[in-house]
Chains A and B, each alone.
Chain A
Amino acid sequence: MKSIMIIFNQANTERVEYMLDMLEIRGFTFFEDVQGRGSKNGEPRRGTHAWPEMNSCVITIVPDEKAPLLLEAVKKLDKRNEEVGVRAFMWNIEATV
């Protein structure tokens, strides 16, 4: 089991949801309105006057075989429009109850 956290510009919400549906990923946790900024050249998303945009975050726990598919999809979404911005991070799940 892998945990994948996708952090994306709010404007991408519908596309991310579509992506999860297409990959038949049912379970996820959605955090709305999260702030952040990219490590290299990602624009800050702070909801302030200077940086008014905001991100959202989805954490989904997927079987190992689906993880690369999801990452691939995120990569495609990022290629669609890099300015808007989407990132995914994956780590192992040690146990679930």
Chain B
Amino acid sequence: MAIYKTAIKNPVTTMLVFVAVMIIGLFCFVQLPVDQFPEMDPPYVMVMTTYPGASASEIETNVSKIMENSLTSVDNLKYINSTSKDNVSLVVLELEWGCDITEAVNDVRSFCDMAKNQLPDGCSSPMVFKFSSSTMPICQYSITADESYAALDKILNDEVIPQLNKINGIGNLSVSGAPDRYVYVDIDQQKLDAYGISLEQVGQVISANNLNLSSGTVKMEKEQYQMQVRSEFIESSEINDLMVTITPQGQQVFVRDIATVRDTIKDLSLDEKTNGREAARLIVAKQSGSNTVQVCEDVQEELAKIQKQLPTDVKIQEIYNSADNIRNSINSLEESVLYALLFVVLVVLFFLGKWRATIIISLTIPISLIVAFIYLKMADSSINIISLCSLSIAIGMVVDDAIVVLENITRHIERGEAPREAAIYATNEVWVSVIATTLVLVAVFVPLTMMDGMAGIMFESLGWIVTVVCCTSTVIAITLTPMLCSKLLKARKVRIENGKLIDEEATTKTWYDRTVVAFLDKVDAAYAKSLGWCLRHKALTIIALFVFFAASLLPFIMGKVGTDFMAQQDNARLSVTVELQRGTRIEETVKTARQLEERFMLLVPEIQMISTSAGSNDDDGTGAIFSTTMNNTISMTIRCNKKWERERTIWQIAEVLRQELAQYPEIIEYQANISSGGPGGGNTVDVEIYGYDFDITNQMAQQIIALTKELPGARDVYSDRDDDRPEIKILVDKEKASRHGLTSATISSYLRNRVNGMAVGFLKEDGDEYDILVRLKEENRNSISDVLDFSIPTPMGQTIKLSEICSVDEYWAPPKIVRKSRQRIVTVKVTPYETSLGELAQAIQTQVLPQIDKPAGYSIRLAGAYEDQQESFGKLGMLGALILILVYIVMASQFESFSNPGIIMFTVPFALSGVILALWITGVSLDMIGALGIVLLVGIVVKNGIVLVDYINLMRERGYELNEAIQMSGQSRMRPVLMTAFTTILGMVPMAVSQGEGAEMWRPLGIVVIGGLTVATFLTLYIVPVVYGAISKKGERDKLKKVRENFIFMDIDVKDCEDLRSKE
């Protein structure tokens, strides 16, 4: 028995099956994590190798090149980049999106093992890292303090972090900028010389007096005791009273005589301030797979509790919380989905005019959408922008099938059939074609799941969700909808009067009949009239439509429609990077930072918080290689109020800041980036310059920068190659040194002890250890002459001055060497402002690059987000072609005809016209999401054509003359076509006009679909019938004649035959 019959005959089962589906769906919905994007691991693997003592160029030739050469054979490799800095080589492998990172890491590891033997001695083994989404911070807090600032590190590590660690799903917690406690022993060089002692001696004395040692066991009568010498410092002041030496005169020299002991916080190298107050930054990451929003909320809650236990001057302030972002964008999308639902229901109500029918149709929406959550749960995905957006796309389509079924059932009921039978037999008539139209949608959306690259990850879930939802809606349309129709729809009310049957409905006209139906009838009639005219003037109509098509392409050809990779989002966050003159002292940098903060606050009242860090953490932790801040750089994270609370957009604010930054002479470079939060990172056009010679490439880069800065939409133009860094080179005279019994190694360690400090153990307190550092006091190591004046002990027991064996040279060295695809590279990055990425790239391509001299062996290419854009557009283009072919195949097999799908395909170019016009009018540029919209349009617009052509075919089969059939079909199918088009268009409207957070991302999709579908729908109503008429002229018009040719036996003259036979 057919499925719809079973459904109608077992209404209880049918209903309960769907109730069960909904309950399971809601259950999954509650359990689903909420996140911004689907889980996607960025496909980067990094290999870090340290080679102590080597300069950047040595690292490049001896380490980076070797690693690059062996790592190029890693599978799925897209690009290989390397950065060579002093002591460190970092090779970054960019793999194809969506490949198995674990596999790749293993691969990389084995290649590293192979390369290990070729690396120079003294090189560490290469370390392999991978990025994963769990390493990305999900929220950051700034912790400010006044009096308690010195103890902030202890407060954070003892009170805050342990409590936060208890939160379920929390990942790494790290603190930056918290003051470390240090015990400094600052020694006076002159006093050392006066007493004839060396710095190392002082250090040895301190460490020799700071120990706990076991000295064996002592047996006393019946008992046995462990004996221990205990002399660890309890307080730092004890150091003062240690005796260093006795002078020949018998005078004791204590530490206090030659040094100052400071128990303090670490000397300034990284300055963290929030709104100008002393601050540390707490960075929270989550475990992979845990619920971002939940973790952020828990952290917030826990911090609120912790706050009460902390000293009153310690304030915890949020710098950035991805949960807010996610929640806002998810909320705004949820709102869009609800509005879409409302609009769709209103459209259905308008066209059908019956609340029962509207309820039946509307029920399909929640059920189909809820099934998406079951899919998401099974696919281990999350509720994110992509999945919600997919629902928003699907919402207008899920009602289509149910509408077709319901319409046919209503037609049967209006003929006077009983609802139950009408439901069965009406569904029987349409269920095959309902499934066929769904197949068209499947042909559009399933290929989306086959894309690779980053777009593949984003569109995979979109493809599956829309497919699952549409298939569910079809199942609902042929089971639940007929069942509900059989129960809810009423047969036409009739009564018998004087033995005659009287239809009550036919005699009474409702308000709806008088207004809406009358209006729709008028529209029908007008359409039929105009269609009739077009059918009589086919050539003229077709020419007119093609002129329209060609004209609509003009804005695109003339470059009025820009292209982007991903629309930038205004999520109220800005990051400002400022670079001062190289070698600027950290203290000077901090001064500028304070000044900037003050000005920014004044200029932009929208700013709620500025969190600034200046300088760098000079720890040698692995984190240090990723941070780019140095003594002369300031990086600021600025948070403004939400975009609906202010008039200026974040881009305008960034522009204000840029103009301010341009006025400072000490600032040599600045950028104001809008952190978009989306995948794919920045929205820049990168000009990559490949070539070996630094001077030549630098010159080319400077030329490009100078020319690009003149382009109207170019902002934040900078080269990623850092300027040369001033260095002081100590040149050891080996002969003199060896005469004193010194080697370069010992000299360098002595130098390090004097400048950087000699670690001589720890001060222990409450289980924490604090470094004790012995070094020369600051005034003794502040200039080159001071350095030359360092006293160095010789093995013979004398002290000599450094100037005796060394000379000092100042020079400039490149701080790092960047390579890409095994070539040295400089990248000039350009951010578009009030223009699109594509236009900016075009301008650079045509106006800047031809003016650059390119010596042989040097090459320039455009990359960055522009390259990603080109790549994804290419892929989407391929996908579009694939979808066109698949849709054609599905339609051709549905109609059993080669020409009919061709007729329907005529609507696709007009969809493009609509897209271009819509983008041109709104001024939105076409990005990857918009391009996706175009691809989807192919499937959506042909649906209208199918409805129309199918009906024309039907009418022709029923024996109507061609033009009559076309006109009749047009008139009768206009309402369903308009209805399904309006449900889809209005379903997209909330997405296109939403002002919520993250809405920028989906706006192009909404605009593209609305524009394309509107134009395509109205033109479908003309172009399809007219082209049908034109094409059918020869072949099918005289159907009867053709049929007769197949059955000529009817022309046999029987009488003649009989006569012939009788003669024989």
Contacts and interface: CB of A to CB of B under 8 A. Distances in A.
A54 B420 CA distance: 16
Contacts of A14: 418, 420-421
A73 B29 CA distance: 56
Contact of A84 (B417, B429, B954): B417
A53 B416 contact: no
A81 B417 contact: yes
B1055 interface: no
B416 A80 contact: yes
Given A81-B416, A83-B415, A83-B416, A11 B957 contact: no
A11 B958 contact: no
Nearest to A10: B425
A35 interface: no
A97 interface: no
B412 interface: yes
Interface string B428-445: 110000000000000000
Contacts of A11: 412, 415, 417-418, 421-422, 425
Highest count of chain B CB atoms <10 Å: which of A49, A53, A80: A49
B416 A84 contact: yes
Given A10-B425, A80-B501, A15 B418 contact: yes
Contacts of A83: 415-416
Contacts of A27: none
A51 interface: yes
Given A11-B422, A13-B421, A84-B417, A50 B954 contact: yes
Interface in A48-93: 48-54, 79-81, 83-84
Given A15-B418, A81-B416, A50 B958 contact: yes
Given A49-B954, A49-B957, A84 B415 contact: yes
Interface string A1-18: 000000000111111000
Contacts of B953: 49
Given A49-B953, A80-B501, A10 B416 contact: no
A54 B953 CA distance: 20
B405 to A, nearest CB: 13
Highest count of chain A CB atoms <10 Å: which of B420, B421, B494: B421
Given A11-B422, A79-B501, A80-B501, A52 B417 contact: no
Contacts of A13: 421
Interface string B985-1023: 000000000000000000000000000000000000000
B422 A52 contact: no
A54 B424 CA distance: 12
A53 B415 contact: no
A15 B422 CA distance: 12
B429 A52 contact: yes
Nearest to B492: A81
Interface string B394-433: 0000000000000000001001111011100100110000
A13 B5 CA distance: 14
Nearest to A52: B429
Contacts of B420: 14
Contacts of B421: 10-14
Nearest to B433: A49
Given A11-B417, A80-B416, A51 B501 contact: no
Nearest to B422: A11
Interface string A32-52: 000000000000000011111
A54 B980 CA distance: 29
B502 to A, nearest CB: 12
A50 B957 contact: yes
A84 B415 CA distance: 7
A15 to B, nearest CB: 7
A76 B420 CA distance: 21
B891 to A, nearest CB: 15
Contacts of A52: 428-429
Interface string B954-967: 10011000000000
9 contacts: A11-B422, A11-B425, A14-B420, A15-B418, A50-B957, A54-B425, A79-B501, A81-B416, A84-B415
The 6 closest A-B pairs by CB, nearest first: A81-B416, A50-B957, A52-B429, A11-B417, A83-B415, A11-B421
